[in-house]
Structure 1
Amino acid sequence: MAQEGCRRGTEDPVPSMLWGLDPLHGVFVKLYVRDILELKKSQQVPGIFFYKTHPISKVDILGTVVQKQEKERFYTIGVDDGTGVVRCIFWKKQQLMEVPKPASSPRGFNLLDLLSRITRLEQENSRLELGDVVQVHGQIREYREQRDIRSFSIVKVADPIFTAQISRMLALPHLYQNFYDKTFQIPKTSVESNEDQSHILSLQSKIKQFLAQNQVKNFYQRELETIDMLSCVAQHGQQGVCGQDLGQSPAQELSSLQCASRQIHAAFQEAISALKMEGVIFQKVAGPNELYLVTDEEKQLHDVILSIIRDDSSRPKYVDKGCPFLHILSCVRHNYGAEITEATLQRVLDRLECSSDIISTMDRCYTAS
């Protein structure tokens, strides 16, 4: 979420010439109302606001109408999404003039008739009442030191069983974690990006191969960096980043070595992070210096998961379909380690199923065999 500290400072987090490189710039960004009200205003360009390092001008919100007011030329409504209330303004549109209805085309298509239907639908949607659920697309603006949204469209959402609101509630945490909360970085050229990705994939493959061949149960990253076979792959990928000249002084040589060491360390970090996302390794305690465990070799984790499925699949609520994936994940995090990821759990479940210890049923549910 946006912090009060984001309002401080006189310079924009990212130069304006680079804003177009950010995929969030120029699109309707789904945000919590609370964050819209707390966005930092650009010091360079009016109408641009920042969520952390991302330049934003247009937003997409879903909420309940809690305020309503009609003016001569526009309407104002207050939309509440559970985190805050923001005022949305939309202008009244002029009515279409009455024109003679032309004959229909041979195929029965009448453009003016279709336009008239669209206009009637827009007018019906503009008749909002308190308690209506609406989706608003609009541009953020500040008027007389008050933050509001100049609406391009307001759509009344028929949501009797809260489907749209639940969907939004589930989608927003994912968007924040995977896009909004990540620092905007200037993309590399395609050649540099492809080369870097190739080296990381190569290192990732070598680490996976090393762990399997040696049946490694756990390790620290610094231990892998001492393995010649692996460090050579990482070092090859960083050649030229901190190149050394023959005429360097001892101090310059030391600086170059330190730079190369940092680059190699970063390559290992990226490869290990990819292996975590794949579920090959995991941590019981999160942190760059904490112990990594190899999923296939951590038999205690396998036993815990198998025990949970055996115990809970016999309960009345799970006896027909089996234990849902998310239920198993919650139990594993409670009984074994809070940092267990979905990918790690899925890898263990696949192995247990291959060994016929469990059986998968519909909807990612599992029961003991």
Structure 2
Amino acid sequence: MDSLHLVHIKLLATGLLTLTPRHTSPPSFVRCGRTVARAEVVGVVVSRDHMEKFLRFLVDDGTGCVPCVLWLNHQYLNANSSSDSDPTGEMASKMSEVVRLGTLLRVRGRIVMYRGAIQIAPRDVVLEEDPNVEVLHWLQCVHMAKECYDLPLPSA
């Protein structure tokens, strides 16, 4: 199995939203022939919709908006989800407190497909206080794509 499947790869919204879904269990996606299941994005919260069971928000990184859905009550999580990729209800509640309109966040989590649209189910939501973090993330995304993500797979 491709090693990218095991890590949160740094992506810009344009790269994340154009991944090709692969119908496997657990769900995964393909980028340049490589399997991807987890991602990290950095951007500003431009939309926030708090419901009883979940918090839906959009993170804008300047190249597009990434939909994120943070489940707030652990009992509503998909029974097929692994515990290492989904926060408990208490952790999710604490993370939801930093999701405010206009805040700069780093979001890491599973890439999921819901109603034909790609979104992130966050494992970590971190408030970033240094505005330079966003530009640094862009540079890291470009560098990692060139050096790791978009390289041809080695022949077996």
1:11-50 correspondence to structure 2 within 5 Å: 20=1, 22-45=2-25, 47-50=27-30
Which residue, 38, 49, 57 being the options, matches 1:58?
Answer: 38
CA offset at residue 167 of structure 1?
1.5
Over 3 Å counting, the alpha-carbon distance change for 1:92 and 1:125 in structure 2 is closer
Question: Does the 8 Å CA contact 2:20/2:31 hold for their aligned counterparts?
Answer: yes
In structure 2, what is the Cα distance between the partners aligned to 1:131 and 1:153? 18
Counterpart residue number, 2:57: 77
Counterpart residue number, 1:163: 132
CA offset at residue 45 of structure 1?
4.3
More strand by share: 2
In structure 1, what is the Cα distance between the partners aligned to 2:145 and 2:122? 23
Amino acid in structure 1 at the alignment position of 2:97: S
Percent identity over the alignment is 27
Counterpart residue number, 1:266: none
TM-score (norm 1): 0.36
In structure 2, what is the Cα distance between the partners aligned to 1:51 and 1:89? 22
In structure 2, what is the Cα distance between the partners aligned to 1:26 and 1:124? 23
1:153 equivalent to 2:124? Answer yes
- Cα-Cα RMSD: 2.1
CA offset at residue 145 of structure 1?
1.3
1:80-95 correspondence to structure 2 within 5 Å: 80-93=60-73
1:102-121 correspondence to structure 2 within 5 Å: none
Amino acid in structure 1 at the alignment position of 2:115: R
In structure 2, what is the Cα distance between the partners aligned to 1:138 and 1:124? 13
Over 3 Å counting, the alpha-carbon distance change for 1:93 and 1:131 in structure 2 is same
1:231-310 correspondence to structure 2 within 5 Å: none
Q: Deviations over 1:274-297 (max 9, x none)?
A: xxxxxxxxxxxxxxxxxxxxxxxx
Q: Deviations over 1:14-39 (max 9, x none)?
A: xxxxxx2x221111011111111111
In structure 2, what is the Cα distance between the partners aligned to 1:142 and 1:78? 15
In structure 2, what is the Cα distance between the partners aligned to 1:37 and 1:124? 23
Amino acid in structure 1 at the alignment position of 2:60: D
The structure that has the greater radius of gyration is 1
TM-score (norm 2): 0.80
In structure 2, what is the Cα distance between the partners aligned to 1:165 and 1:174? 14
CA offset at residue 154 of structure 1?
0.9
Question: Does the 8 Å CA contact 2:12/2:138 hold for their aligned counterparts?
Answer: no
Question: Does the 8 Å CA contact 2:98/2:126 hold for their aligned counterparts?
Answer: no
Amino acid in structure 2 at the alignment position of 1:143: Y
Counterpart residue number, 1:126: 97
Question: Does the 8 Å CA contact 1:125/1:155 hold for their aligned counterparts?
Answer: no
In structure 2, what is the Cα distance between the partners aligned to 1:166 and 1:84? 15
